[in-house]
Amino acid sequence: MENGAAQPVIVAIDGPSGTGKSSTSKAVAAQLGLSYLDTGAQYRAITWWMVTNGIDIEDPTAIAAVAGKAEIISGTDPADPTITVDGVDVAGPIRTQEVTSKVSAVSAVPEVRARITELQRSIAASAERGIVVEGRDIGTTVLPDADLKIFLTASPEARAARRSGELKGADVNATREALVKRDAADSSRKTSPLAKAGDAVEVDTTELSLTQVIECVVTLVEEKRAGK
Ligand SMILES: Nc1ncnc2c1ncn2[C@@H]1O[C@H](COP(=O)(O)OP(=O)(O)OP(=O)(O)O)[C@@H](O)[C@H]1O
Ligand SMILES: Nc1ccn([C@H]2C[C@H](O)[C@@H](COP(=O)(O)O)O2)c(=O)n1
């Protein structure tokens, strides 16, 4: 490229809940001047819309029938990621226990996945300097040609301890059970389950600090850019 500008780079970061995808992706994108997309927030946003509009979450046909109705807009600045549904800021409401408990069922519906996947691809394609996209099926389905694919893991105990630290006073065992249950649902759905791409680099974060994970991923991106 002219003026020594770096080529756009597409980084896919997948993994189970609480492995550090969001924290790592945001920091890596900020350090490298890339855009950032939280695809879990998009699935949460469509789930929030279903709940708000009284759609029966137990009924995949009902969900499929309205999968295209909500207008979901994701802001991709890693310093200030935003998400709106039909113009309403839903950054807070999508993190409620109610949405968290229903998001796996909504995101398993193929029509929902087709709609959100299309949105994700269009956002990635328009990121001029490149983007870090995090989720469950980015390396396998959404962006199979990503320049770098990372699959983050951590023990359920480490993930529950991290999450309980966030949710003051939360019971660690209950948090662990909820994480494991959501991972099982996300891994066993028929369409585009949570899975490691064959060419992804697996990083076990159980014994690593967040700073170490960020450094590791930044190094992998830089190596990729240098053609190593
Ligand atoms: N390596 C780490 N060591 C300690 N804490 C960490 C580490 N990575 C992330 N955390 C903390 O764990 C919590 C969960 O991290 P984060 O939200 O980034 O995970 P996630 O994989 O995106 O989860 P989810 O898929 O549920 O959205 C956050 O409080 C974060 O600060
Ligand atoms: N690419 C993705 C991203 C997320 N989901 C679903 C499954 C998750 O349980 C849920 C919430 O994600 P989180 O905010 O915890 O990262 O969204 C998916 O199916 N595919």
Domains for the chain: give ranges and CATH numbers.
9-222 (3.40.50.300)
Determine whether the shortest distance from the Cβ of 107 to ligand 2 is under 6 A. Answer: yes
Determine whether the shortest distance from the Cβ of 39 to ligand 2 is under 6 A. Answer: yes
Beta partners for 72?
85
Task: State the Cα–Cα distance between residues 185 and 100, nearest whole angstrom.
Answer: 12
- pLDDT for the residue numbered 2: 42
* Nearest ligand, CA 120: 2
Q: Are 10 and 225 in contact (CB under 8 A)?
A: no
Residue bearing tokens 């029509």:
111
Determine whether the shortest distance from the Cβ of 153 to ligand 1 is under 6 A. Answer: no
Task: State the Cα–Cα distance between residues 122 and 221, nearest whole angstrom.
Answer: 22
- pLDDT for the residue numbered 169: 67
Q: Extract the residue ranges of the chain whose pLDDT is less than 50.
A: 1-3
Q: Which of 101, 155, 162 to mutate to test the pocket of ligand 1 (most atoms within 8 A of CB)?
A: 162
Q: Are 128 and 1 in contact (CB under 8 A)?
A: no
* Nearest ligand, CA 107: 2
- Tell me the two tokens of residue 202: 């697996």
Q: DSSP letters of 128-159?
A: TTEEEEEESSIIIII-TT-SEEEEEE--HHHH
pTM for the structure as a whole = 0.96
What ipTM did this prediction achieve? 0.98
- pLDDT for the residue numbered 191: 96
CA distances from 1 to 7, 27, 147, 218 (A): 7, 25, 17, 21
Q: Look at residues 100, 50, 94, 57 and name the one whose alpha carbon lies nearest to residue 74.
A: 94
* Residue nearest atom 5 in ligand 2 by C-alpha distance: 40
- The DSSP secondary-structure symbol of 73 reads E
Distance 169 CA to ligand 1 centre (A): 17
* Nearest ligand, CA 41: 2
Determine whether the shortest distance from the Cβ of 192 to ligand 2 is under 6 A. Answer: no
- pLDDT for the residue numbered 163: 86
Q: Look at residues 132, 54, 126, 43 and name the one whose alpha carbon lies nearest to residue 90.
A: 43
Phi and psi dihedrals of 123, rounded to 5? Answer: -65, -45
